[in-house]
Structure 1
Amino acid sequence: MELRHLRYFTVLAEELHFGRAARRLSISQPPLSVAIRQLEESVGARLFERNSKAVRLTPAGDALRLSAQTLLRQAEEAALEARDVSKGSAGRLRIGFVGAMLYRGLPQALTAFQAAHPAVRVSLSELNSGQQITELLHDRMDVGFVHTSRMPEELEQVLLLSEPFMVCMPASHRLARRRTVGLASLRDQPFVLFSREASPDYHERILSICAGAGFRPEVRHEVRHWLSVVSLVSQGMGVALVPSALQHAALRGAVFRPLEEEVAGSDAYCVWRSGPDNAVVQNFLRLVQKAVQA
């Protein structure tokens, strides 16, 4: 049974006249008769009663008519969906992100993307950089936003932004009234740090920045999310070096000050699987880069 046979059948079922049905189908009557006979042989039942005066559906033909219309509609919808997916206007998009991306334009990019592509199903997962790379490699995620440039060869990446680190401290801290803060003044301060397990790159970056200023920070608390870092600082549990985007978290009790020294910045990368271009992913990447750079 072919879709062509079903299409011929439904037109003939509507017209109940071989001549009119053939004209609608832009074919001659003999191919239509052959197709109907082939369909009847495939089904194993007569679908039409026909003589020189009339064509009528048999009970079997009447039963097949509704099912055939449903199958043809589903086939058309499947073809439309396939075309939309190929253009990036339909499908699914599974996104992983580190928490700081919530303050770097990701929500704005998602809003713009969903408005432009309402048929794309978007799902979000907050994961650390290592977890995102694993999910991408196992094809359980389509796009990731990470803090590391060390990528397996199966993945592609683009640098989205590089921003400075800032000192995050309790509002009651003795250094909070300064316009800028030198690293040396943090030498004896308790630190809240992103854990090595959650993000080894960030952990080592902050230790390296402090080492460049001649000291190793006294790490009192290690957490797995940037908002947890800022939250602990806001409650007087220590100080931290955080990406400047975190100042937009607006947690009461925490203040942010620029460093006096120039140090290596905080980098955010967008990463996805190598291979044939995924139009949904490419459309999203273009919007993300606009939102982040705005």
Structure 2
Amino acid sequence: MSGLSYGHLDFCDLEVLLLVSELGSIRKASRDLGIGQSSVTRRVQKIEDALGVSLFERSTTGVRLTNAGWGFVGNVRTLASNLKAAAETAEAAGIGGNGQLRIGLIASLSRGSLRKIVSGFVNRYPDVEITFTESRRGELMTLLSHRMLDVVFAAGKPPSEHGDMLLTVEEGLYFAVSRHHHLAEKQHVSWAEVEEMEFVVSTEEPGPEIKDYILRKISNLGRQAKIRQHRLDREGIMNLVGLGLGVSLVAEHWCGVRYPNVKFIPIMGNQTAERIPFSLTWRPENDNPALRRFLSLAREHAKAKAVPS
């Protein structure tokens, strides 16, 4: 612990004092702390000077507590124990007492950034209860605004009025095609190669966003996109792809799930993999300690991925 002081006594100095008394040696305390013997001696003398009494009897074989030292060290040990208990109680309140995290998402947890963040969070804070809600973006943002969700993970960079935002990753995009499709053997595919094909997308999230993305890309090629929407979930759309009833578009995190007869092929544009951003959004006034820990872990992940915040 550092920075905590009472009068002229610094708590770091008191911790050194406790270690010297336990080991009965300034030399051994110096070795355990990884600092010089002179530094340990100065810290002990600083406390003795502040108190105006000698706490140790020094000899060539080590140190022994004086009568005054026994009483003082006993009180310091009690103080240190109480302070540690108080810190653990506060931490438990942040992890257990408020140990619920509610995540909204328009994504798959089968692979990708969010899966890694959630997995790391569960390992680090196993007592936190996590619940997930998958729905349309508008509903998720409404739940976020009314504090019924703590954080939302979705594609893109949401408007600032929804709250604070952290860009966690830029994921690759893939075409989903039947394994019998003539493109299935290719290592990567461009938009020009699929511009005349029929796409199948869901009417449910993220289907509408996928449809808009396809329309923009095909329109840039001067074509009219062929898109058929179905009232099916993600698995249902992939089953249509596997049956050869169309191709579809997925982000990398979907690729962790294997669907019958479906292959995912990376999209390349201008000799680089096509990518889209995914971000976390939360309300800045939300003081849920579990949320703060989750965001801290997400920032570590984003930094490791070199994604600008």
State the TM bucket, normalised to the shorter chain.
0.5 to 0.7
Instruction: Report the counterpart of residue 51 of structure 2 in structure 1.
Output: none
Q: How many residues align?
A: 216
Per the TM alignment, residue 172 of structure 1 is displaced from its structure 2 partner at its CA by: 0.5
Instruction: Report the counterpart of residue 272 of structure 1 in structure 2.
Output: 282
Cα deviation, 1:203-224, whole Å, max 9, x if unaligned, reads 3222111212222221123456
Max Rg structure: 1
Instruction: Report the counterpart of residue 90 of structure 2 in structure 1.
Output: 83
- 2:161 pairs with 1:153: yes
- 2:247 pairs with 1:236: no
> After the TM superposition, which of the residue ranges 101-110 and 240-249 deviates more from structure 2?
101-110
Gapped runs of 5+ residues in structure 2?
Answer: 1-85
Do the aligned partners of residues 198 and 224 (structure 1) sit closer, same or farther apart at CA in structure 2, a change above 3 Å counting? farther
Identical-pair percentage: 23
Do the aligned partners of residues 245 and 122 (structure 1) sit closer, same or farther apart at CA in structure 2, a change above 3 Å counting? closer
For residue 163 of structure 1, the aligned residue among 166, 171, 181 is 171
> After the TM superposition, which of the residue ranges 91-100 and 167-176 deviates more from structure 2?
91-100
Per the TM alignment, residue 242 of structure 1 is displaced from its structure 2 partner at its CA by: 1.8
Q: Contact 1:144–1:271 (CA<8 Å) still a contact in 2?
A: yes
Instruction: Report the counterpart of residue 197 of structure 2 in structure 1.
Output: 189
Q: Contact 1:89–1:119 (CA<8 Å) still a contact in 2?
A: yes
Q: Contact 1:95–1:144 (CA<8 Å) still a contact in 2?
A: yes
- 2:151 pairs with 1:143: yes
> How do 1:35-184 and structure 2 match up within 5 A?
83-84=90-91, 87-88=94-95, 90-91=97-98, 92-151=100-159, 153-184=161-192
Q: Contact 2:143–2:149 (CA<8 Å) still a contact in 1?
A: yes
1: distance between equivalents of 2:254 and 2:205? 21
Do the aligned partners of residues 119 and 273 (structure 1) sit closer, same or farther apart at CA in structure 2, a change above 3 Å counting? same
2: distance between equivalents of 1:273 and 1:182? 38
> After the TM superposition, which of the residue ranges 154-163 and 167-176 deviates more from structure 2?
154-163
2: distance between equivalents of 1:87 and 1:229? 41
1: distance between equivalents of 2:232 and 2:114? 20
Per the TM alignment, residue 225 of structure 1 is displaced from its structure 2 partner at its CA by: 4.5
Gapped runs of 5+ residues in structure 1?
Answer: 1-78
User: Normalising by structure 1, what TM-score?
Assistant: 0.63
1: distance between equivalents of 2:114 and 2:268? 29
Q: Contact 2:178–2:184 (CA<8 Å) still a contact in 1?
A: yes
2: distance between equivalents of 1:220 and 1:198? 14
Instruction: Report the counterpart of residue 218 of structure 1 in structure 2.
Output: 226
User: Normalising by structure 2, what TM-score?
Assistant: 0.60
> Which amino acid counterpart does residue 203 of structure 2 have in structure 1?
S
2: distance between equivalents of 1:224 and 1:289? 34
SS in 2 for 1:175: coil
Cα deviation, 1:140-180, whole Å, max 9, x if unaligned, reads 11111112423352511111111232211100111212222
